[in-house]
Amino acid sequence: MSLDLAGFDRVSLIDSPTPLQRLERLESALAADGDPPAIWIKREDIGHLGGGGNKLRKLEFLIGHALAGGCDTFITGGGRQSNHARQSAAAAARHGLACELVLADVVPRDDEAYLRNGNVLLSGLFGAVVHHLPANADSLGFAHERAAALAAAGRKAYVVGAGGSSPVGNLGYVACADEIVAQERAMGLRFSAILMANGSAGTHAGLAAGLAALGDDPSRARSFSVLASAPDAHRATHRLANETLALLGEGYALPEDAIVVFDGQRGDGYGIPTNAMIDAVRLLARTEGLLLDPVYSGKAFAGLLAKIREHRFTSRDAVLVLMTGGAPGLFAYEPAFRTPAAH
């Protein structure tokens, strides 16, 4: 079975299917004192527009929806170092839309690297108008006010919340689920788990909805919460998965236990480094030459390493980790990587 998404407006922003790669050097390093699974990654981070990353799949449908609705401006938001904001700015530029970003200072950092480098630098290069708001501001309310102001001037704005995790945006990861299942079939392989970080929950929700719509097991998609508490992230993911299924015209809802969200990697909060994240970023860089990011994929990979140490995944398993991008964030987190490596 494969999914038919042809009824939805869509633009092309990535080269798909994105490749799967096996991390044999990492497996060997972990086998020195453990029994690791076969570890595969899906390269959602490479070769694409604007530095790449998982938001481009969502933006294929969001920008498609905006253009079909006759919009001339794309408004979205996130934290100051939002990868989603950076990819939105690039995608909007690519499709001739003006872009406005509403960035809230949700991470307690005020050093130069955090305020100006990484995603902030790139979003500016892509020509986005940036509005900086304090941590507790109502960013979505502000975005709608901007849209109303633009409407009064004869313009038309498309507004989507942080992370682009609306049911329309989540269709991008419905498409990704279809891709993964086809790749598994072609390789004669089945992953025990498909792992990722959970921020605005749409990546996990879209994958779970896509797996369910394919008649596959939605609980193979599993995420590590990096923003909300695990119960809140679970609730949001479950709701979004069911809203996405409804948009697909599927006549059922997923039970709560179809959504698996792990805790334990968020540390002191969203965007705040943990030692486990720093170790995971260094390990993948040194064993495989690959870049994780400090806010999402570094914490998700740290979660996989913890589960391997706890024997939750063993050499009987093959696991797939989504490389969701975000490497520009490393430049904003330069101070966090000054500490000498422990190994």
Tell me which residues touch ligand PLP (CB under 6 A).
Answer: 53-55, 83-84, 163, 165, 197-203, 293, 296-297, 324-326
Query: Cβ contacts of residue 94 below 8 Å, gap of 6+?
Result: 13, 49, 50
| Nearest Cα to Cα of residue 82 among 60, 54, 57, 62 | 54
Q: CB 154 → ligand PLP: shortest distance, Å?
A: 33
CB 83 within 8 A of CB 119: yes
Task: Tell me whether residue 98 is exposed, middle or buried, using C-beta atoms within 10 angstroms of its C-beta: 0 to 12, 13 to 18, 19 or more.
Answer: middle
Instruction: Report the residue number, 118 or 199, with the smaller CB distance to ligand PLP.
Output: 199
Instruction: Report the residue number, 197 or 221, with the smaller CB distance to ligand PLP.
Output: 197
- Whole-angstrom Cα distance, residue 123 to residue 115? 12
Instruction: Report the residue number, 57 or 307, with the smaller CB distance to ligand PLP.
Output: 57
Q: CB 50 → ligand PLP: shortest distance, Å?
A: 12
3-state percent breakdown (helix, strand, coil) of the chain, nearest 5: 45, 15, 40
CB 311 within 8 A of CB 35: yes
Tell the residue number behind the tokens 């253009």, with chain if given: 67
Catalytic residues: 82
Instruction: Report the residue number, 36 or 78, with the smaller CB distance to ligand PLP.
Output: 78
